[in-house]
Amino acid sequence: MKKEKSLTDLPGVGEATEEKLMESGYNSFETIAVATPQELVAAAGVTSATAQKIIIHAREALDIGFKTADVLLEQRKNISRISTGSQNLDALIGGGVETQNITEMYGEFGSGKTQIAHQLSVAVQLPAEKGGMEGKALYVDTEGSFRPERIVSMAEGLDLDPKPVLQNIIFARAYNTDHQMLIIEQAKGVIENDNVKLIVVDSVTGHFRSEYTGREALAMRQQKLNRHLHAMTKLADIFNIAIFFTNQVMSRPDFFFGDPTVAVGGHVLFHTPGTRVYLRKGKSGRRIARLVDSSYLPEGEAVFEITSKGIRDPEAQE
């Protein structure tokens, strides 16, 4: 979309409607294109038919519609990747955490999930030749595990000034599922205004798991989780950003052979991320990452370490 375009260029959007939309965070064609008619009705007070027309024209202006596979191949050349700090782990997931995609890493406590989330929040600020995107990170913390002190040590490990690195991480603490979902809904405006290239959610299922307990609440939990995941999918696709979230695990009692550990979230979550990685502790403080699912990468494993400077390959530790 060209910057000079105004929301009033969309059919059904006058100055008054434009003002209401912008007050609600719908300040561009991109944010409108990923909205639902119900969201625009609530934001601007327009009819459902008008909301649908506005969204359709925004998508047409952005060329969001049917495409041939060769066009998609060209678009995928615009994908960028953010380094995890470990060349082994980067190679496992195709060169790093990629944009236009959701990457999930799950594992038990101490397996390295939050450490990688911190490392990515620093790495996204690097230039492309060093594994970054020269952008900011939006970090959604649901468990109170974010530590700015760790960001400082990781920044110093990359010879960066910690102060601007901290300033380029936009932090949000989510206190329940509704708050967590609201933060992602409001992220549209933050992405555009603050050059956000990475959204981190640590962890994605924590609140859902604690608030919806018992079989009678399972259907409601999965419905809300499904909406939340698809909201992030739209952001990744429309804005060409990377979505990274961590996930909790549980042990399946009906699993008799092999590792009974599975990610929380059920089939709703299993099918949404484009890349899924299982983390576990290895010997001598090492961590083992196993690529569980990817649309185009083979399964495999990689070994990395958590050092004082951040995520590194074992042989790279000083």
- Reading the block at residue 8, the tokens are 């009033």
User: In which residue are the tokens 């952001």 written?
Assistant: 235
Return per-residue pLDDT of the chain as tens, 318 residues: 344 578 999 999 999 999 999 888 788 888 888 788 998 999 999 999 999 999 999 888 887 777 788 887 887 788 999 999 999 999 999 999 999 999 999 999 999 999 999 999 999 999 999 999 999 999 999 999 999 999 999 999 999 999 999 999 999 999 999 999 999 988 988 998 899 999 999 999 999 988 988 888 888 888 999 999 999 998 998 899 999 999 988 655 554 454 556 777 666 676 678 999 999 999 988 999 999 999 889 999 999 999 999 999 997 444
Assess contact for 317 and 305: CB atoms under 8 A. yes
Cα dihedral angle (161, 100, 118, 273), rounded to 10 degrees?
A: -170
pTM: 0.82
Which of 307, 285, 313 has the alpha carbon at shortest distance from 153? 307
- Reading the block at residue 281, the tokens are 């502790």
- Reading the block at residue 52, the tokens are 């649908």
Cα end-to-end distance, the chain, whole Å: 47
Cis, peptide link before residue 295, omega less than 30° from 0: no
DSSP-derived pairing of the beta strands 97-98 and 310-312? unpaired
